[in-house]
Amino acid sequence: MSDDNAAWARSFGSVAEAYDRGRPTYPPEAAAWLVGEQPVTVLELGAGTGKLTEQLVALGHDVHATDPDPAMLAVLGRHLPDVRTSIAGAEEIPLGDRSVDVVVSAQAFHWFDLDRALPEIARVLKPGGRLAVVWNQRDERIPWVRKLGHLIGTQDQLREPAEPIVQSALFGFVEDMAFKSWQIVDRDSIQDLVLSRSNVAVLPPEEREAKLAEVLAFYDDYGRGMDGMQLPYVVSCFRATVIDQPRPGAAEDPDGPAAPGGPGDAGDPAPEGEVSDGTDTDMLLIDFR
């Protein structure tokens, strides 16, 4: 991660309230596709103010939400006081091995140090568990949305957002699905949307004000007034099953354990008609003197 990206990743706490007011939520059907509809244990990395967390809880999942920024988690805790939270990054997860069914990340995966985070994610997933990631991406095929993107920045409009998972030897085939959603923004909330962006949050105060003035002029030019405008999103979802790794210290047996009482069981003599190699228990008890 570059120095600029690292600074942007650490910028959200200073704009946590604007983030909570201005960022869109996730459609329930996207949350269900990512994690499933049957209740499971979920670790959410980079949970922020709880935009996805709220949908996961509504589906009945047992969620442990983590984020490196205490200010973001404070907002989440205000909305969802019963959700367990930990101030932690994806690179050092404060959970035991094979302890969760799903690890999910919304709008945060691209901030992780993936050389460290992906092995940590694989470590905490149960056998057969899944990693799921999702981004709200503005649908910039629409001209006015593309113009807004030029104003507020498009660094999170990722071209191949799941490529690190595809390339990783820790996860299997990556499935993908896209959903559509709309966010109604008015003259106030569009300012929060802009302020919540990392590339704007790190600007000096006078440059932030200038950026807000640009966006307000854009909004006013479209004549939406108090009715607001519907900002379209493509909700890009990805999921992959962890490839089970041998546990540290576990003996490796490429042929697997022999069935009890079978030819590989040292407690039985060799089957009739076969010559013993002298390694079964009965032969070892004979004193050859």
Tokens for 12, please give them.
Answer: 């959200």
Helix count (H) and strand count (E) of the chain?
12, 7
More confident residue, 191 or 247: 191
Rounded to 5°, angle at Cα 235 from 233 and 238? 160
More confident residue, 116 or 191: 116
Does residue 253 have a pLDDT over 70? no
More confident residue, 67 or 250: 67
In this predicted structure, what is the pLDDT of residue 226?
60
**Most confident segment among 83-87, 152-156, 212-216:** 83-87
- Delineate the domains of the chain, giving CATH numbers in brackets: 3-135+156-179+233-241 (3.40.50.150)
User: 3-class DSSP state for residue 220?
Assistant: helix
Residue type, 26: Y
Residue 276 DSSP one-character state: -
Residue 15 DSSP one-character state: G
The mean pLDDT value for 44-64 works out to 97
Per-residue pLDDT band at 222 (split at 50, 70, 90): confident
Does residue 170 have a pLDDT over 70? yes
Closest CA to 26 of 104, 100, 142, 114: 104
- Strands laid side by side in the 84-87 sheet: 84-87, 62-67, 41-45, 100-106, 125-138, 229-241, 175-185
Task: Tell me which long-range contacts 78-82 makes (C-beta under 8 A, separation of at least 24).
Answer: 79/49, 79/50, 79/54, 80/50, 80/53, 80/54, 82/57
Cα distance between residue 273 and residue 289, in whole Å:
26
The mean pLDDT value for 281-289 works out to 36
In this predicted structure, what is the pLDDT of residue 272?
42
Cα distance between residue 223 and residue 127, in whole Å:
54
The separation between CA 200 and the C-alpha centre of its own chain, rounded to angstroms, equals 24
User: 3-class DSSP state for residue 51?
Assistant: helix
Residues in the chain: 289
pLDDT tens-place string over residues 58-114: 999 999 999 999 999 999 999 999 999 999 999 999 999 999 999 999 999 988 999
Cα distance between residue 57 and residue 191, in whole Å:
29
Closest CA to 88 of 36, 43, 142: 43
Per-residue pLDDT band at 8 (split at 50, 70, 90): very low
Closest CA to 171 of 122, 107, 115: 122
Does residue 133 have a pLDDT over 50? yes
Contact indicator for 166, 173 with CB cutoff of 8 Å: no
Per-residue pLDDT band at 16 (split at 50, 70, 90): confident
